[in-house]
């Protein structure tokens, strides 16, 4: 299981505001170039968004579904990307003084990702999470401070 954490220098409320906006998914998730809500209720349980991942001159689409939500505290997603299969991504926001400690736990569920899950794959997930959580922190902190 790839578990990683990031201290974000903003309140959990500010972090949640970005997580709860499906059009901002591609701003902080590593890979997608754009995201579009498929339902108007994001991040309600069962709501979905479609994302596009550029692959050279081509692109592929995936769908992420909310599986669990505790508003302002927890968001559990299932990301499905064609032949690669599905993955569970659990984001937990913990108050840390005036800041937020964000804990991300991801592991493959089905498809090739689950079949070929091994220590090397885990290392790649850790690298992806390092980038993703740093991007999320930057998006939230810039928005909160008004910086560009």
The structural domains of the chain, with segments of one domain joined by +, span 2-31+68-145
Residue 94 forms beta bridges with which residues? 101
Nearest partner of 34 among 18, 14, 15, 54, judged by Cα? 54
pLDDT, tens only, 86-116: 989 999 999 999 999 999 998 888 876 666 6
User: pLDDT tens digits for 39-70?
Assistant: 889 999 999 999 887 778 888 888 999 999 99
Q: Would you say domain 2-31+68-145 falls under CATH 3.30.1330.10?
A: no
Beta bridge partners of 79: 64, 87
The DSSP element (H or E) to which 128 belongs, if any, is helix 119-145
């Amino acid at each position: 299981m790839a578990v990683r954490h990031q201290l974000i220098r903003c309140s959990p409320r500010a972090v949640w505001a970005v997580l709860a906006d499906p059009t901002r998914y591609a701003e902080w998730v590593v890979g997608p170039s754009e995201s579009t809500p498929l339902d108007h209720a994001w991040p309600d349980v069962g709501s979905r968004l479609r994302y596009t991942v550029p692959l050279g001159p081509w692109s592929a689409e995936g769908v992420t579904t909310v599986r669990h939500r505790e508003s302002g505290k927890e968001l559990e997603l299932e990301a499905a990307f064609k032949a690669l299969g599905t993955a569970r991504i659990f984001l937990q926001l913990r108050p840390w003084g005036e800041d937020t400690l964000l804990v991300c736990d991801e592991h493959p569920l089905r498809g090739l990702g689950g079949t070929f899950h091994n220590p090397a794959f885990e290392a790649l997930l850790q690298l992806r999470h390092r980038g993703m959580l740093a991007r999320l922190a930057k998006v939230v902190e810039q928005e909160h401070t008004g910086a560009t």
